[in-house]
Amino acid sequence: MQTVAAALDRLGELAASPTVARLASAFEAAGHELALVGGPVRDAFLGRPVNDLDFTTDATPDQILAIVKPIAEAHWDIGRAFGTIGAKIAGETVEITTYRADAYDGDSRKPEVVFGTSLEDDLTRRDFTVNALALRLPGLALVDPSGGIEDLIGTTLRTPAAPEQSFGDDPLRMLRAARFSAQLGFHVEDATRDAMTTLAAEIDRISAERVRDELSKLLLTDSPGGGIRLLVESGLAARVLPEVPALQLERDEHHRHKDVYEHSLTVLEQAIAYEKSRGVLDSPDLVMRLAALLHDIGKPATRRLEPGGAVSFYHHDVVGAKLARKRLRALRFDNDTVAAVARLIELHLRFFGYTDGAWTDSAVRRYVRDAGDQLERLHILARADVTTRNRRKADQLAFAYDDLEQRIAVLAEEEELAAVRPELDGAEIMRILDVKPGPVVGEAYRFLLELRLDEGPIGPDAATERLRAWWAQRESSPSG
């Protein structure tokens, strides 16, 4: 947290930038108010980078367009129905929104858009006091009607109005509380937290797309664990991502087992660390983080209490992949994300067989083939899934995975492992066997692929010879 004087100096520098200065001058000349609002002002006080420039004004969307058109390199009105006009000015992207005073009607999944006339009223309708800050332009007057500066100093999340009213106006704000608590490292004050618990069912009024976007933003923070805990403790997770609180399996004094919920949060934390340290994936990586959080959600459905105090979760990888696919589709995630997360969950246990005995080159090839373009994420998930406190066991697993990655690297260099395919294509198969397109070509292709995986590259001539031998045997067999 910077001092108020240092933050104001930083805001002054921002206001003097070509983009902000040009906008402020244009709105003043048109006789309209303009203020830098929300995140940029908050982040100036927190010493965080200011990435987005958001403004608010008393001008209507039509008036905003009329003001920005002469000074913008480009402009767009995709958010016009909600009072927002976007523009590119002096090389920077900005959003300018008419003062708002909207609310939910109690049943709708979308807010009724109502434009306001006062900056102070607009700010007191916002989600949290730390976001209800504005800098009037061009005069550089700080506006803080709800005590946001004090809450920044106290690292507190609190709603400007009564939390029941604020969350009633937009229940998505309850998810935003979890996200901001993780993103900023702030604590949610008691009355706000209590209202989240009391009003958790109101989140059902929010569209799946908006819930998805907010959950994604939470997972993409540097340390999402605290926000996830808040969602679970408030009861919100039970309504938007019920598979996570379900990981809090009932304890049995005779069947002790690892706390699956805590384990999953630890895996998420460790996956984020690997994601950053390995530097291969773009970070933050949403697919990686979803897979880490959800990798064990099949355990509650597959939990079995075995004789002698053991607990088993047979096939929880397959069950978990199905559950993840169903949940992510319900949240309207795109098909590629759904498929990638489900595949990672399905494969996350595969590595643990590596320590039971030496894998053949064929097994390593199949591991790479099955992972496909998710291999790097699978590397991270498998490593992050080791949360044992037994140092010897943890080191053994780490060394084993180091060895596996080294073998993959060697085979990849020798065999172009990332593009494993038969050494004869479909056209060549039809020519060699003198057959027409049909199921038999696919059968021959699969035979050659298995041969490639088992033995590595053997060359087109040897592959042709093996194909003919396979074909002869197939034709001579009773079922051929």
Q: What is the DSSP string of 402-439?
A: HHHHHHHHHHHHHH-GGG---SS-HHHHHHHHT--SSH
Note the helical H segments in 69-142. Answer: 119-124
Residues sharing a CB contact under 8 Å with residue 471, sequence separation 6 or more, in sequence order = 433, 444
Tokens of 137: 């332009």
- Same-domain pairing of 360 and 308: yes
Tokens 């129905």 belong to residue: 81
- Same-domain pairing of 316 and 374: yes
pLDDT at site 103: 55
C-alpha to C-alpha distances, 96 to 48, 77, 92, nearest whole angstrom: 22, 10, 13
- Same-domain pairing of 135 and 172: no
Global pTM value? 0.82
- Quick one: which of 390, 297, 305, 311 has its CA closest to 346? 297
pLDDT at site 110: 57
- Of 103, 132, 152, which residue sits at a domain end? 152
pLDDT at site 6: 84
Tokens 């479909």 belong to residue: 426
The answer, yes or no, to whether the previous bond of 224 is cis (omega within 30 of 0) is no
Question: What domain range includes position 468?
Answer: 426-476
pLDDT at site 252: 46
- Same-domain pairing of 34 and 134: yes
- Same-domain pairing of 176 and 75: no
Mean pLDDT by 10 residues, the chain (480 residues): 78 91 96 94 89 93 95 90 91 93 57 81 94 94 95 96 93 97 96 97 96 98 97 98 89 56 96 93 94 96 80 88 98 97 95 73 85 93 92 88 87 64 84 86 84 81 87 73
- Same-domain pairing of 407 and 431: no
- Of 419, 453, 468, which residue sits at a domain end? 419
- Same-domain pairing of 379 and 414: yes
CATH number, domain at 107?
Answer: 3.30.460.10
- Quick one: which of 192, 284, 293 has its CA closest to 241? 293
> Rounded to an integer, what distance in angstroms lies between the CA atom of residue 101 and that of residue 423?
66
- Of 182, 211, 241, which residue sits at a domain end? 241
- Same-domain pairing of 265 and 387: yes
Tokens of 44: 């100036």
Count of structural domains within the chain? 4
pLDDT at site 418: 54
> Rounded to an integer, what distance in angstroms lies between the CA atom of residue 164 and that of residue 403?
55
